């Protein structure tokens, strides 16, 4: 088996795709680190038995798209293939799912305290990390253009996770704790 470590990052540098070396705190690395954290948490949501199976195919597709987004962020601009992105298609699917779920929700308060159950709290954490990842991508986009479909996808993702939280609470019979 090939060694997992290279020792090339021991001095605070890492490689982007194509071998370009950058500091480990380069904004592209920071953005990808945040997206990676989000992806790991979404993976946790997928295996939680209390999360409805209706959400899991969406979560799987979101994870795959997040991997593609990370690849785009780490790829030099002249080497990016935007056809790999499925962000617009996935954004439309997420919007449809949100509309379906919102029509069934008993309560539509917008500002809620992130609590309720272990599952809803985990979804809230994912939602906040999605917002953080979106902010990091806006910072990246100042110097390295990001496909607009990715920005729409990231913006909608936190809304999607909010709606997922609301449905999770309703499924568990837990009233959301409204912030007033």
Beta bridge mates, 14: 22
- Please give the average per-residue pLDDT across 110-139, as a whole number: 90
The CATH number that domain 23-171 falls under is: 1.20.1200.10
The 10 Å Cβ neighbour count of residue 71 is 15
pLDDT band for position 108 (50/70/90)? Answer: low
Can you give the pLDDT at residue 109? 63
Rg (CA), the chain: 18
- Please give the average per-residue pLDDT across 22-27, as a whole number: 89
Which residue would you say has higher pLDDT here, 25 or 139?
139
Residue 21 phi, psi dihedral angles, 5° rounding: -90, 135
- Please name the residues in contact with 108: beta carbons below 8 A apart, sequence gap of 6 or more: 102
Q: 137-177: per-residue pLDDT in tens?
A: 999 999 999 999 999 999 999 999 999 999 999 998 887 77
Q: 41-91: per-residue pLDDT in tens?
A: 999 999 999 999 999 999 999 999 999 999 999 987 777 776 788 999 999
CA distances from 172 to 3, 33, 45, 101, 166 (A): 46, 32, 16, 15, 10
Average the pLDDT over each of 61-65, 93-97, 106-110 and give the range with the smallest value: 106-110
The answer on pLDDT for 119 being more than 70 is yes
CA distances from 6 to 12, 14, 74, 124, 158 (A): 13, 10, 18, 36, 35
Q: Distance (Å, rounded) from C-alpha 79 to C-alpha 18?
A: 9
Can you give the pLDDT at residue 81? 74
């Amino acid at each position: 088996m090939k060694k997992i470590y290279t020792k090339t990052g021991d001095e605070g540098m890492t490689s982007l795709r194509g071998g370009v070396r950058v500091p480990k705190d380069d904004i592209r690395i920071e953005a990808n680190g945040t997206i990676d954290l989000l992806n790991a948490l979404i993976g946790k949501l997928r295996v939680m038995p209390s999360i409805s199976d209706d959400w899991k195919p969406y979560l799987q597709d979101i994870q795959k798209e997040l991997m593609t987004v990370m690849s785009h962020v780490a790829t030099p601009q002249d080497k990016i293939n935007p056809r790999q992105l499925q962000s617009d298609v996935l954004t439309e699917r997420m919007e449809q799912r949100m509309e379906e779920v919102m029509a069934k929700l008993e309560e539509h308060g917008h500002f809620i305290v992130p609590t309720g159950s272990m599952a809803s709290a985990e979804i809230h954490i994912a939602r906040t990390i999605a917002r953080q990842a979106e902010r990091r991508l806006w910072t990246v986009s100042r110097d390295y253009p990001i496909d607009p479909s990715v920005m729409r996808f990231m913006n909608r993702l936190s809304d999607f996770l909010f709606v997922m939280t609301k449905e999770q609470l309703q499924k568990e019979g837990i009233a959301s704790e409204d912030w007033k």
